[in-house]
Amino acid sequence: MNVRGPILSVGEARTVSTSHGDRELRELRVRPERGAADPVDVTLWGKWAETAEHAEPGMELLITDAEADEFGGETGYATTGDSWVVLEPDFLVDVTGIRSWVQCPRMYYLNKLSGIPLNYPVVKGTIVHEVFGDLLRGMELEASVADRVEEAGLELGLLGYEPEEVADEVRRNAAAIEGWLAQGTLSDEDTWRSEFTLISPTFGLKGRADALRRGTPVELKTGKNTKREPRFHDKIQAACYALMLDERGVDPDIGTLLYTKNTALDRNEESGDLAPAKEFSVGRGLLEFVVRERNALAAMEWRALNEPGERPTVPTGYEADAKCEYCFEQDTCMVVSGRLDQESKAESVGTPVPDAERDYFDRFYVALEEERRETHAEYRKLWEQTPEERAADDRALIDLEPVSQTEIDDARWELRARKPDDAVSKLREGDVALASDGDPVSGHGELGRITGLCGDEVVVETDEPVELRRLDVYPSEISVDRSLTALHDAILKGSDARKDVLFGRREPEFRDAADRPAGVPGSDDPDAPDAYIGNNDAQNEAVELAVDAEDCALIHGPPGTGKTYTIARTIRALVEEGNRVLLSAFTNRAVDNALEALRDQGFEDVLRVGTQTGVRGDMQDVRLVQRGDPNAKAAELRDAPVVAATTAACGSRVLRECEFDVALVDEASQLTEPGTHAAINRADRFVLVGDHEQLPPVVRAENDLRTSLFERLIEAYPDASVMLDRQYRMSQRIQAFASAEFYDGALRPATPEVAGQTLRDLGVDPADLPDGLAGGVDFVDPDGTRDGNRNVREAERVAEVVDAYLAAGVDPDDVGVIAPFRAQVAEIGRRTPVTVDTVDRFQGSSKEVIVVSLVATGDLDGPIFEDHRRMNVALTRARKQLTLVGDADALVSEPFYERMLDWARR
Ligand SMILES: Nc1ncnc2c1ncn2[C@@H]1O[C@H](COP(=O)(O)OP(=O)(O)OP(=O)(O)O)[C@@H](O)[C@H]1O
């Protein structure tokens, strides 16, 4: 049986003599059934007693195959020969993390901070891995090498490599793979597959194996190894995959390491075993060792968050017996310990950063690790929720009917399936998702990209074929990983001038207008134009503030106030003064909108960095295609005066290599502080544009990540900010409530036309509409009942309201419906031809007519009500008519909504 629950206390290590000789043991007291049952004693025998050394009260413990023992009338449990003991099984450790942890725990920690840099071994390693996959999928060697080297054009160019020399080296490495594949090691019964995603609920592990051969793991290493045996930490990596396969009942007895550089070595100069493939046997002892090391790692991570000490616990390097002088991370290690005043086995260099910076680093390090745990909780839902629960949670499309599996050009697969009519989910075209045969954890699952999601059809591209019966949201830690790196870069590598402002040691500074160069608006030059933007003082002031900023400028733009227009003008002004600008935003949509505005203003010299599916169709012509000639590609990126990318992409290894004079970040109020650093680290100065009265950062954990840097700075430095106060979107009647509630009444319509717009301007005669739908703002109470996340009666009423507008002559494209839950979105979507979506998806867009479905009855519960800022977004999307559909009794239960109701019914 399995025993699982929180640890209450940990006993001392003891040695007892048994019929098998002296044995170590350690007793712990735990509350089984995840804390629901009465406390019991559990005994960890033998080597598992080592795991108890890391255990602390509060941690979760799992013992599989435990046996019950009676002692003094009490039932306890003990490990058996088949038991696994797992600490904090909910913490999912990545296999590559275990590998570096075994080498040196501090290296594991440093890898988190410094990310994967752009260097030649990394890029070459990626190419060789890609070629390996291609060869396994039956592609021809030369074609694969040429294709993969070309694909890496940009990265190779940034590193100054020529394609021929790289192709040669990759070819030599690939020879090892080809030779091995051809060597007769393979027979007809050999079953092969490349890249296999594994997640282990029992062992708290996840990772992607390079390949499986007859069910046993194969790992590719692009280095050399002239010993007979694989390197120990390489074995550990393969053993992790073996352990996860074991959990699926495969029981692999060997693992293989393929050292591809061995074939490239000169036999006259090198001695030893030059065979690239090295097998080793995977015994129980090795697997137990892997689990114990994983436990030590998980315990360290637990202590970093849970120990009430001043600073998070991080490894020092003394835990391992690795030699620092051979370590690639030695320099980083010394700098990090010097700057953060950490104990470390390597010497430290440099002086510690001031206390405030260290505290900031620690606070956000912990906050990001908390966020990581929330991400792990998302993974857990893959096995803890039933398929139906996951579908109801919008996290999966289930009951798909496989239609076809087609091999496409570069040995990849296109899977098609039919989905039930009413199925909805968070999944969108372009997302990476987990395609499976119905069971993504213990069945057959493949990571793939959604290339089509339209009507009743789903199309996914994967490396290997799978019967597409279910498609799941696949959580990603990449945002946490990149944020940690951004935090490291900002605090440990950032300039003191920048940090003086971030840490309140100095006010942001601005150039005097008198110092503006000739020709620039506001300069002494009599021939210079009067203003950047002649018809809107606040916008003009915003551009001036941005071009004069020596540190930073903050542009606060309530809904419809011309943020995008001002951003475009600002970028032009910055480029005119000779600056190179990084344009960034939280979403691809905002990046593309800003680019569109820039191009509308006649500025075309832009480069869009992003994936093909992420970038909008009309911006593909300025998208940087990474494939191609290295020199040309690198020049394209280095010479562009304006580079545009999401903040997530700013943390990529390519953009981390780039420098800019100014970073301009839109939607900055939706970014966490580390998320903002990812963009502004790349530039000397920065301009943040946002509205902290609209949606806050999207995070799962409740901590400091919820407040944006934009919000913090605008409160600290009001003089470094401008609020755009005239809006070009809403009628006077619509904007009144938001202006009063969120902007101290300062928001005004930009022109009388904006203020006075009505449905009549769309050619609609109000007499053609039922009573109470043409007042500019109206409220309808359908007397519905909330059922879970939907309200069917209300959905029907919303559809009737929409029909009434359409019947009166409003174009379907001019009407939008906002609902708080995806279930209600689907409920309404079935009944009407117009766009229906959640608030979050509507931020940044607008419609002539908006109908909001509030769903709640009884009490006010749900994401739209949790945060008034969400309601601000919902109420400020409409231009001419806003119709709220909801339950008046529920709304009057809170003063804010009562005021909203009064306004809507006025
Ligand atoms: N100074 C201006 N003169 C004339 N029209 C303007 C001016 N500024 C903005 N506009 C117009 O107002 C509309 C809204 O502007 P924009 O799209 O830039 O707003 P936004 O603040 O980015 O909106 P959102 O709240 O959706 O982010 C656009 O049609 C834009 O062309």
Angstrom distance (rounded) from CA 852 to CA 839: 9
Q: Is the minimum distance from the CB of 535 to ligand 1 under 6 angstroms?
A: yes
Q: Is the minimum distance from the CB of 557 to ligand 1 under 6 angstroms?
A: yes
> At residue 185, does pLDDT exceed 60?
no
> At residue 789, does pLDDT exceed 80?
yes
Please indicate whether residue 464 or residue 872 has the higher confidence score (pLDDT).
Answer: 872
Mean pLDDT of 426-448: 88
Q: Is the minimum distance from the CB of 844 to ligand 1 under 6 angstroms?
A: yes
Angstrom distance (rounded) from CA 882 to CA 818: 11
pLDDT at 190: 57
pLDDT at 44: 95
**Which residue has a Cα nearest atom 28 of ligand 1?**
562
User: Is residue 27 within 8 Å of 9, Cβ to Cβ?
Assistant: no
Q: What confidence tens digit (pLDDT) does each residue in 27-37 have?
A: 999 999 998 99
Angstrom distance (rounded) from CA 172 to CA 156: 18
pLDDT at 195: 81
> At residue 186, does pLDDT exceed 60?
no
Highest mean pLDDT: which range of 323-332, 673-682, 814-823, 867-876: 673-682
Q: How far is the CA of 529 from the centre of ligand 1 (A)?
A: 22
User: Is residue 594 within 8 Å of 644, Cβ to Cβ?
Assistant: yes
Which atom in ligand 1 lies closest to the alpha carbon of residue 558? 25
pLDDT at 514: 84
Q: What does pLDDT average to over the chain?
A: 92
pLDDT at 17: 86
Mutation to probe ligand 1, out of 541, 601, 728, 734 (largest number of atoms < 8 A from CB): 728
**Where does 307-436 have alpha helices with state H?**
330-340, 355-384, 387-392
Q: How far is the CA of 564 from the centre of ligand 1 (A)?
A: 6
pLDDT at 397: 92
Mean pLDDT of 434-460: 89
pLDDT at 377: 93
pLDDT at 477: 92
Q: How far is the CA of 641 from the centre of ligand 1 (A)?
A: 24
Q: How far is the CA of 623 from the centre of ligand 1 (A)?
A: 25
Going by pLDDT thresholds of 50, 70 and 90, the confidence category of residue 189 is: low
> At residue 458, does pLDDT exceed 80?
yes
Q: Where are the beta strands (DSSP E) in 653-796?
A: 660-666, 683-690, 721-723, 726-727, 748-749, 777-780
Q: What confidence tens digit (pLDDT) does each residue in 532-549 have?
A: 999 999 999 999 999 999
> At residue 753, does pLDDT exceed 70?
yes
Highest mean pLDDT: which range of 181-190, 209-218, 227-236, 499-508: 499-508
Q: What is the CA 483 to chain-centroid distance, rounded?
A: 9
Which atom in ligand 1 lies closest to the alpha carbon of residue 843? 26
Q: Is the minimum distance from the CB of 536 to ligand 1 under 6 angstroms?
A: yes
pLDDT at 270: 77
Q: What confidence tens digit (pLDDT) does each residue in 33-55 have?
A: 998 999 999 999 999 999 999 99
User: Is residue 801 within 8 Å of 832, Cβ to Cβ?
Assistant: no
Q: Is the minimum distance from the CB of 561 to ligand 1 under 6 angstroms?
A: yes
Going by pLDDT thresholds of 50, 70 and 90, the confidence category of residue 746 is: very high
Q: Kindly state the tokens that stand for 895.
A: 């003063």
- Stated as kind and residue range, the H or E segment containing 680 is helix 673-680
Angstrom distance (rounded) from CA 823 to CA 271: 66
> At residue 326, does pLDDT exceed 60?
yes
Q: What confidence tens digit (pLDDT) does each residue in 394-427 have?
A: 899 999 999 999 988 766 889 999 988 767 778 8
Q: How far is the CA of 876 from the centre of ligand 1 (A)?
A: 14
Q: How far is the CA of 566 from the centre of ligand 1 (A)?
A: 8
**Which residue has a Cα nearest atom 15 of ligand 1?**
562
Going by pLDDT thresholds of 50, 70 and 90, the confidence category of residue 531 is: very high
Q: Is the minimum distance from the CB of 727 to ligand 1 under 6 angstroms?
A: no
User: Nearest Cα to 144, choosing from 175, 184, 121, 180?
Assistant: 175
Global confidence as pTM: 0.93
DSSP line for 473-511: E----HHHHHHHHHHHIIIIIS-HHHHHHHTTSS---B-
